[in-house]
Amino acid sequence: MDIPILYEDDNYIVFNKPAGLVVHPDGRSKEATLVDWLLEHRPDMKNVGEPLIIAGKEEEVDEDGAEKIAAKPGQTILRPGIVHRLDKDTSGALVVAKNQKAFEDLKNKFKNREVDKKYHTFVYGDLKEEDATINRPIGRSRTDFRLWSAQRGARGEMRDAITNYRVMARGNDSTNGEAVNLVEVEPKTGRTHQIRVHFKAIHHPVVADPLYAPKMAPLLGFERLALHSVSISFKGIDGKKISVRAPYPGDFMRAVEMLQKD
């Protein structure tokens, strides 16, 4: 399994996570994960962080910016150095802490919103504003337990969620003429599916999103969620500023070229 490393020092590794790779096991499936890579290539990191221990009834765990995971009672799921996650089909920059001191520090920085994350995504339609802020609390969907919602009728606890965005390019899909925008997104909070939920709420869902736009045709050749974690910036435990940018994968590069030819 080849997972490109964008940056590494004594305290952190920043990966360029490929689309289709799960960050850590869910206790059920046998597919390879980023944790498997860590346990093989950095075995000294095995006990860094906080393992997930499932006790009692089956649980679902909500973590920063990623889908929920399910696991059977009695299982211990190792998560060496994992402070945040990306959805399985989201590609791009993901930071892992290599020791406990770095883990605790980075965990606090995520909690205090001191980690800057930027994403690039393609969304359906033409956004009215060139740059704007989506400030909509997120709760549970009333119609599907897998989904979250920032629209009227969401149920359960409504958690604050703020997403800034700016339009980078506008164009159309050459096969059907549908409008599509390339957008840079900066989430200020880390709610589950936040970017996907917020753009769905303003009626411009992420291209090829199987959960939030299941009936919309994929555009620009995408066969997976059109979302890429393009950069991450934070101060290390020594005060040094670490800023890492993740190059586009092939499908993003092709999509940009298609948009530019329009």
Q: Hey, which residues are catalytic here? A: 87
Question: Residue 195 belongs to what H/E stretch?
Answer: helix 194-201
Residue that the structure tokens 């799921």 belong to: 77
**Residues paired with 120 in a beta bridge:** 184, 228
Pairing of strands 91-97, 227-235: parallel
Decide: helix, strand or coil at residue 112: coil
Nearest Cα neighbor of 182 from 246, 138, 226 is 226
* Token pair for 171: 């164009």
Alpha-carbon dihedral 211, 213, 217, 223, rounded to 10 degrees:
-40
- Alpha-carbon span 220 to 176, nearest angstrom: 10
Residue that the structure tokens 């070229």 belong to: 257
Question: Residue 39 belongs to what H/E stretch?
Answer: helix 34-41
Longest dimension (CA), the chain: 56
- Alpha-carbon span 155 to 145, nearest angstrom: 11
- Alpha-carbon span 127 to 86, nearest angstrom: 25
**Residues paired with 116 in a beta bridge:** 233
- Alpha-carbon span 85 to 192, nearest angstrom: 10
Decide: helix, strand or coil at residue 206: strand
